[in-house]
Structures are given as structure tokens and as C-alpha cells.
Chains A and B, each alone.
Chain A
């Protein structure tokens, strides 16, 4: 048997089976533990005998006066706390959880299609289309602008070839 199980059985005052008894007698750790616990328990049981103080004379009267003087706001506040306080706490937790979920979701993807991400996506597409018009689909120069920029280099090249 495990020491912990044996100790719990003895502490709770349950009937000691032969196996428990054998363990207690052969295990010095359990023997020591139980001796100490029994001593402390004797002390705690002795505390039971200490008489609690009596309520002083007029205890109930003073308490009732205190209740009478307790402001209605205090009592109302207590009622609010008791009756709806818990619900407010749960509702706040729910809102916080939902906010956390919203923030934790990725900015795009199947779970997200907010107006902001849509507009960003549209802007990106417009920019891509504009680039394609200017640069061509595979990035090769097809427009006039490319010609005007590329012409001096091309001419220079042919001139260079021509001179050679």
C-alpha cells in the first residue's frame, strides 16, 4: 500500500485493515507522521473545549439599529450585487471573449471578410492591373513609355555596334 493512502485512512479514523496495520508498523515514515498528526489532533480537539465569547448585552438591538441606519443606497447596492452582479460579470466576460476572438482572427481568409480587408484587396487588385497595363503580364515592356525610356539605350547599343 502507498504511504499516502495509509495515512489518509488512519487520519480519517477509518477501521484499520490488517494491510494498513502491517504497513503502519513496518514503515517508519508513516509511524512518525501519524504520531505527529495524532499529537496535533489532540491539540485541535482540546481547542474545541475553549468556550467562544458570549454576545455582549444588547447585541441584537445594536445590530438592528445598524441595519436601520444602513443607507438605502447601501442596501440597494448589496441587492444589485447579489442579484445582477454575477450576470454583469458574465456578460462582460462574454464581450471580452468575443473581442479577443475578433482580434485573434487572421485579417484575411475564410473566417474574415470585413469591409476593410475587402477594400485593401480591391486596392491591391487595381494596383496589379495598372502594373500589368504598364509592364505587360509577364513584366516585359510593351508600352510607349517603355519605348521612350528604352530608346536611347537601344540606339546607343546599335551606334556602338555600328561604330565597331
Chain B
């Protein structure tokens, strides 16, 4: 995913000014990184109406914590870490107050899923099947625990490498791999449960 990065020396200067209390210097940082944060938040949360509020809160948090930024990782990675942690908290709160039911899927969608999961056709999915599969994947993701959801969204939707994810989540690469496998297994099991119990 391509994101334009500001000039590093200019960026360091803005960060230094923010750390010395110059609020105005935060505006160019927001301008430079807002699209990237919008993208990550949308892919993790997938609720279009909530994205902007969440991004505002993330930037508020980032400004409040900018004194602790020490250039050990890039500013983008540091900001991503704040964004992912904030989304994780949001998803945990949402999950406890909201349940997504399988039967929200249309009859036709269910039929496409059934036919595709039993006869693996070569040559990919046609348009209708694709829509049904996207719908199913989105619903299974919405039902997944926040931890699974975050790591799967970073890997499969945001297309981040395992190394990037380990940096964002402050985890070892091997831990990321284990968690990814566990999240995938749970998702497949959830899919199987849906097929068997529907």
C-alpha cells in the first residue's frame, strides 16, 4: 500500500516543535499521515461512520504522547502502533456490546458460498461468488475476537509483512506467526460451524 512520506528532516523538526509544546507543528504531521491512519482504521474496524471519530481520537492521543516518542522506530510506525492499540480497544468494547449473526447473510449468498466451498473451481470466483465470499469473510471477521481481527486485518487486508506487524504490535516475529495461524484456524472453524449448524 503506497503512502507518501514527508521529508524526514522536516518531519523531525515538526516532531521536535511538538515536543516543545508548539501545537501548530502538529497540523502538518496530521496532514501527512491522516490518509494512512484512515486506511488502517477502516480496515481494522470496517465501520465507515465511525472512522473519522476514531482517527480524531488517535491523533489526540498521539499529540498527548508525543513527548515519549524517541525516534527508535519511524514516526509512521509509532503512529500505527497507537492507531492499532486504539482500534483494538474499540473492537473489544464493540464486541462485548454487539453480536453479528450468521443469518444476516442472504439466501443467495449462502448458496454461492455452499457451492463454492464444495466444488473448488479453477479460475477464481465469478462476480456473484466474490460478493458472497467478501460478505462471508467480513462477517466472520466481525465475529472474531479483537486480537484475531487485528492481526488478520493487518496481514490479509492491509497486506503488511510479518516483520511490520511484529514492529507495530511490539511482538516477536515467531509470536506473530503463531497468532496468525491461530486466528486463521479459528476463522475456518467458525466457517465450518456455520456450515454445519445453519
Contacts and interface: CB of A to CB of B under 8 A. Distances in A.
Interface residues of B, number: 56
A39 B116 contact: yes
Contacts of A33: 188
A42 to B, nearest CB: 6
Contacts of B63: 67
Interface in B33-86: 34-35, 38-39, 41-43, 46, 48, 51-52, 55-56, 59-61, 63-65, 67-68
Interface of A is mostly: helix
Interface stretch (A20-28, A49-57, A107-115, A138-146): A49-57
Interface of B: 23-24, 26-27, 30-31, 34-35, 38-39, 41-43, 46, 48, 51-52, 55-56, 59-61, 63-65, 67-68, 113, 116-117, 120, 124-125, 130, 133-138, 140-141, 152, 156-159, 177, 180-181, 184-185, 187-188, 191-192
Interface of A: 4, 7-8, 11-12, 33, 35-37, 39-48, 50, 52-56, 59-60, 62-64, 66-68, 70, 75, 78-79, 82-83
27 contacts: A8-B181, A35-B117, A36-B188, A36-B191, A36-B192, A37-B188, A39-B116, A40-B136, A43-B137, A44-B137, A44-B141, A44-B152, A45-B157, A53-B52, A55-B34, A55-B52, A55-B55, A59-B30, A59-B52, A59-B55, A60-B30, A63-B59, A68-B23, A78-B65, A82-B67, A82-B68, A83-B68
